[in-house]
Amino acid sequence: MKQRIFGLISALIGIVIALAAIELTAIVWLYLEEGRYVSAEELFQRTQNTYVRDLTKGTNCRYVDTLYPHPYLAFVHHGNPPCGLPNVNNIGLLNTDFPTVKRDDVYTVLVVGGSVSSQLAQNWPAPAPRFLEEELNRRYVSPNGKPWLVLNGGDGAWKEPQSFILFAMYATSVDAVIALDGYNEHYMFRSYTGERLERPLSNFADVNPFVADENFGDAAIGWVMGRIAGSLAQMPILGHSHAAYMIVRGIEAVAKGHDVFKADKKKKTTLTSIFALPDDIKGNGEKVFQTQLALYQKYERAIEAVAKENNVKAAYFLQPVPSWGKTLTDEEVRAAGANMTDPVLYRRMVDGMMTLRDQGLQMFDLGDLLKDVKDTIYADDIHFIRDTKGDSKGYRLMAAKVVDDLAKAWNLQPKSPK
């Protein structure tokens, strides 16, 4: 009996020593990789950008579990248990419901774009500031003299033509539209891109049963691996383990290798084929760039045309990126990591879009927004840091600059000092 107990104790001690050795090895590996000690909690946070992480914080739900298919916008969110979001509005976005008929008690501004425009316009998690709405109401009288109301028309991974489609659907319900974009669009400008600007990102496949069925094996593997990774990160003990983080990182790397958009040569119609660029453009960096630029410009001009037809004011802003226009802190460099935007490609795209000013569009470049800011502002490769109450120096600076430009574009009258 004593020998059995001694054997069990010896085995347990051996397991503990082995686990400790694995954990120590992971810590040393990551220390050498990072050049400093980084807690497992911080490393787990990096597995998702801040927009995605905020929407699933404190739950075992993944971002995809919050998504809902939309017949025209590809994907939005839902408020259904167990993973629904509490402040989803009537069209599946975050914050105030969209009106069907234009309201006469407010001056309604729709902000369209991706996740950055969403964070600028809405107050997730409540009661975080509504940065742009607060800045407008604080400084300027609206064109109809009523309080400003800013509607969030942006969502994570959205790019054109989602912004144009949303605005076209609700152009009769708003007084003004602001497009804040560029970052999500620029990915389609890379020389090796084989598909048009409009190709939806993988979130569309995740919420579309037919597309998932087309590549069910790959979609299922990615879904299961993501579930495992998310669950490990939420566990009290493993969430503090560097070794567990290494496992999660490996799992996610494998999951990302399963592309639900990959071409199937046996099938004539696939998502890839629908959005494929012509063979004489694929692989030709200059032709890819010019083709995508023409498409991007087309959708901004389309917003302008619909706005004029419906007597809606319009303005367009190209968002800043960490790789240009700011001296980054060490924390920002680490946060952006391998996702850092190619500054040459991005700025060339911005320059191309700014030529629309010659066609009468109120286009503004926010690239220099943070040129004099020395603090750590970026939380990842595109979003700004927000504190525990949702406040953000970066978004406050962006709101102030956007309002400055709107005042000139729309001839706004400043409020009288009290």
Residue 143's pLDDT is what?
A: 98
Say if residue 68 is exposed, middle or buried (CB neighbours under 10 Å; 0-12, 13-18, 19+): middle
Check residue 190 and report its DSSP letter.
S
Main-chain phi, psi angles of 375, to 5 degrees: -70, 165
Quick one: which of 98, 177, 182 has its CA closest to 410? 177
Reduced to 3 states (helix: H, G, I; strand: E, B; else coil), residue 107 is: strand
Asked whether 20 and 243 are in contact (CB, 8 A), the reply is no
Series of mean pLDDT values for 10-residue runs along the chain (418 residues):
67 66 69 65 56 67 85 94 90 95 98 96 77 97 98 96 98 98 96 92 74 52 56 60 66 53 68 90 95 98 98 98 96 87 96 98 98 96 91 97 98 89
Q: How many whole angstroms separate alpha carbon 196 and alpha carbon 277? A: 6
Domain boundaries of the chain, sorted by first residue: 2-37, 87-194+277-414
Dihedral in degrees, nearest 10, Cα atoms 151, 156, 158, 159? 100
CA gap 142, 131 in Å, rounded: 16
C-alpha span between 317 and 300 (Å, rounded): 11
Q: Give backbone dihedrals phi and psi of 410, rounded to 5 degrees, phi first.
A: -105, 5
* Contact call for residues 114 and 75 (beta carbons, < 8 A): no
- pLDDT for 320 equals 98
Pick from 308, 319, 323, 404: which is nearest to 113 by CA?
A: 319
Question: What number does CATH give the domain 87-194+277-414?
Answer: 3.40.50.1110
CB-CB contact of 347 with 302 (8 Å): no
* pLDDT of amino acid 258: 47
pLDDT on residue 48 = 54
pLDDT at position 53 is 61
